[in-house]
A and B are shown apart, each in its own frame.
Chain A
Amino acid sequence: MGILLYPGLVLNCALITLAYGWFLAPKLDRRDPLAKSLGMVAVALFLMGIMKDRWDTSKPRNLHFPSRTFTVADTVVSTTQILALAFALVVVVGVNLFLQRTSIGTAMRAIANNRETSALLGVPVRRIEAMAWFGAGILCGCVFLLLPSFVKSLDQGTLTWFVIPALGGAIVGRFRSLWITFFASIVIGVIESFLTPFSGALQFLSDFRRVTPVVISVLAILWISRRRTVVLAGREMS
């Protein structure tokens, strides 16, 4: 059980996203990205309802990844933190290579660019999209193995809503650049950490540090869209 627990959890996550990608996502495939994302909101609410019923909050749960700590320049660092950073780097490099060097990755980029034309050129759209969902599920599963080590209260709400501050990095990267997303997320995290120890007259900086992702992403949006953008047939044009 011990050995199978971690891959089992990751597989569980991947199977849920695969099921969504295979059965439900194709029903919204012709809609705009917003409607597609609302489809995921629907699934999130559905799963949260089940978790809310099944998750007995009277029994605290935790899932600490096996970890050791050591001190670097008066800072306590855990192996899980190193692993998380390394994992993020591996994902960025790996996914970039996958998208650029493999036929499946090329097909994914083609579908993201123009779904209809890709289908006309013989790309098996449904199968490739299902693979993308499966891959996303694996990545999420891995992240949620590491995450419980960094949060105090482990409940379905905390874990689900973790995605909202994470969106800050994705917005800065405009859902296009994994590298910008990676660095933006690191910067957001570092700023948030630096704001933690403030006290006295500057206590408010510490209190409101969790707003950092919102502030950074709003500033990024203002900068990115400093030229007027209009939307033509679901595509942004400058």
Chain B
Amino acid sequence: MGAIVKHKAFEPGAIAVIVVFALFVAPSIFGAFWITNLTQMAVFSVVAASAGMLYGRVGLVSLGQVAPYGIGCWVTMRLAYATSLPFPVLLLIGGIVAAVIGMLIGLPALRVSGLYLALVTLMLAAALETVLGVLKFPNGGSGFSGVVTSLSDLAPMRRPGFAETDPAYFRFTVIVALLLFLLAYVFLAGKPGRAWASIRQSEPSAIAAGIAITQYKLIAFALAAFMAGVAGGLFAGSVQQSIGIDQFSRQAALFLIAVVLMGGVHTLWGALLAGFFSKVMLDLLTSYMVGGQFWNNFSLSLFGFGLMMNLIQSTKAMEKKGLLG
């Protein structure tokens, strides 16, 4: 089994199987409920990949990765209400706006690291929650600034013309998510990836080696924010109406880091697992396991427990490898 997993053809093969299953098999065997869940799993995987990339590859812990996610969602929604631009263009604009704001957030964050960076980014996530609340997110009215007073008047977020049904939108989401994973892979496999690895290992060594750490950290923040921003736009299209600040709250920020760490931050597979944990696993437990509603009620406890176990196990593994002290 180990030999199969280590074989160089295993990873591309596994990706091909997952993509074929997602595009051709899943839409025909699952009902609307599970298709919506799988769509959100694909969306959340991208957000998890962006947060995991910052932590696992660059060594920057951002607890505020829900901020670009929320910004991308909001920008995409507003543009969808105000313009007739094609949906993929909206996603791109949402991602670019999130990337610009991500870089602005990254500027003060570049001066700090470790615990300070985590706290500052967590506070920025809290600030976004305040801003979205004041601006009456998600508004829902016509134009750029229209606001509806009742959720029942909220116009449904439009989807691309070729993906208006749930299964078609799921396929669209999987393809966009795949492209974003590919984008991350290109960066990780290229010069930025090597620079990030060096920065994560030791900043002084990276500086000594002539790596422009400020530039590469900013690229990391921008790329992560772009991915999260596009994911936000995809999320807006998947839920259409039932959207609120909760999805981008302080609690969501901590929940995100919990599932990202549970999934694993050192490979992009971990992001897929994080998406599964956050969007599918709970419904599987609630629907098919003994206890039913218990799992849903105690979902936060479950993820808190999972995060703690992850931290303890990773500590043991680091001790075993002699990486601590």
Interface of A toward B, CB cutoff 8 Å:
24, 27-28, 30-35, 37-39, 41-50, 52-53, 116, 157, 161, 164-165, 167-168, 171, 207-208, 210-211, 213-214, 217-218, 221-222, 225-226, 228-232, 234, 236
Q: Which residues in A have their C-beta under 8 angstroms from that of B251?
A: 48, 157, 161
CB distance from B314 to the nearest CB of A (A): 8
Residues of A within 8 A of B118 (CB): 34, 37
Q: A156 vs B137: C-alpha distance in the bound complex, in angstroms?
A: 23
Q: Which residues of A contact B116 (CB under 8 A)?
A: 171, 221
Compute how far the CA of A49 lies from the CA of B307 in the bound complex, rounded to whole angstroms.
13
Nearest A residue to B118 by beta-carbon distance?
A: A34
Assuming the contacts A167-B119, A221-B120, asked whether A207 and B134 have C-beta atoms less than 8 A apart, the reply is: yes
Residues of A within 8 A of B250 (CB): 161, 164
Q: Which residues of A contact B325 (CB under 8 A)?
A: 30, 116
Given the known inter-chain contacts A28-B315, A35-B315, A229-B112, please indicate yes or no for A45 contacting B124, CB distance below 8 A.
no
Complex alpha-carbon distance, A132 and B214, angstroms: 37
Asked if A42 and B111 sit within 8 Å, CB to CB, the answer is no
What are 19 contact pairs spanning A and B, CB under 8 A? Answer: A28-B311, A28-B312, A31-B311, A34-B118, A38-B257, A38-B311, A39-B311, A42-B258, A45-B300, A48-B301, A49-B300, A49-B301, A50-B298, A164-B250, A210-B127, A211-B131, A222-B108, A230-B204, A232-B204
CA distance A52 to B298 in the complex (A): 8
- Is B115 an interface position by the 8 A CB rule? yes
Q: B303 touching A45 by the CB < 8 A rule?
A: yes
Tell me if B113 counts as interface (CB < 8 A to partner A): yes
Scoring B residues 295 to 309 as 1 if CB is less than 8 Å from chain A, else 0, what string do you get? Answer: 001111111110110
> Does more than half of chain A's interface fall in helix, strand or loop, or is it mixed?
helix
Of the candidates A42, A50, A161, A208, the one whose C-beta lies within 8 Å of that of B134 is: A208
Q: How far is the CA of A82 from the CA of B315 in the complex (A)?
A: 45
Q: Is A231's CB under 8 angstroms from B113's CB?
A: yes
B197 at the binding interface (Cβ < 8 Å): no
Interface contact tally, CB-CB below 8 A: 146
Nearest residue, chain B, Cβ from A20: B308
| Contact status A48-B300, CB under 8 Å | yes
- CA of A47 to CA of B89 in the docked complex: distance in angstroms? 42
Q: Which among A35, A171, A213, A225 is the interface contact of B111 at CB below 8 angstroms?
A: A225
User: B202 to chain A: which residues have CB within 8 Å?
Assistant: 232
Contact between chains at B254 and A44 (CB < 8 Å): yes
Closest A residue to B255 using CB positions = A45
By the criterion CB–CB under 8 Å, are A221 and B108 in contact?
yes
In the complex, the answer to whether A165 meets B304 with C-beta atoms within 8 Å is no
Question: When the two chains form their complex, are residues B207 and A230 in contact, meaning their CB atoms are under 8 A apart?
Answer: yes
On whether A27 and B319 interact (CB within 8 A), knowing A37-B118, A49-B299, the answer reads no
Q: Contact at B305–A42, with CB atoms within 8 Å?
A: yes
Query: In the complex, how many residues of chain B place their beta carbon closer than 8 angstroms to a beta carbon of chain A?
Result: 48
Q: Does B4 contact A (CB under 8 A)?
A: no
Given contacts A30-B319, A210-B130, A217-B123, contact A45 B254 (CB under 8 A): yes
Q: Are A45 and B304 in contact (CB under 8 A)?
A: yes
Q: How far is the CB of A56 from chain B (nearest CB, A)?
A: 12
Question: Does B114 count as interface, using CB distance less than 8 angstroms?
Answer: yes
- Beyond A45-B307, A229-B111, list 7 extra A-B contacts (CB 8 Å): A50-B301, A157-B251, A164-B122, A165-B126, A171-B123, A214-B123, A214-B126
Q: Is the CB of A171 within 8 A of B120?
A: yes
Q: A236 to B308: give the CA distance in the assembly, Å.
A: 26
The answer for the CA separation of A102 and B166 in the assembled complex, in Å, is 66
Contact B123 A33 (CB under 8 A): no
Selected from B297, B302, B307, the residue in CB contact (under 8 A) with A38 is B307
Q: Is the CB of A42 within 8 A of B304?
A: yes
Whether the Cβ atoms of A161 and B301 lie closer than 8 Å is no
Residue on B nearest A206 in the bound complex, by CB: B134
Q: Which residues of the partner chain B approach A213 to less than 8 Å between Cβ atoms?
A: 123
* Residues of the A chain whose Cβ atoms lie less than 8 Å from the Cβ of B114: 32-34, 231, 234, 236
B114 shortest CB reach to chain A, Å: 5
CB distance from A228 to the nearest CB of B (A): 8
Q: Which single member of B127, B301, B307, B319 contacts A41 (CB below 8 Å)?
A: B307
Chain B residues with CB below 8 A from A228, complex form: 111
Q: Given the complex, which residues of B lie within 8 Å of A226, measured CB to CB?
A: 111
The digit string for B308-325, where 1 denotes a CB below 8 A from any CB of A, is: 100110010011000011
Contact B130 A211 (CB under 8 A): yes
Is there an interface contact between A164 and B261, defined as CB atoms closer than 8 Å?
no
Q: Which of B130, B308, B315 has the most CB of A within 10 A?
A: B308
Docked complex Cα distance between A222 and B120 (Å):
11
Taken together as a complex, chains A and B put the C-alpha atoms of A161 and B123 apart, in Å, by 10
A221/B112 contact (C-beta < 8 A), A30-B325, A38-B311, A49-B304 known: yes
B227 at the interface (CB under 8 A from A): no
Q: Is the CB of B302 within 8 A of A42?
A: no
Contact, CB under 8 Å: A27 / B315: yes
B61 at the interface (CB under 8 A from A): yes
Given contacts A222-B111, A230-B203, contact A42 B308 (CB under 8 A): yes
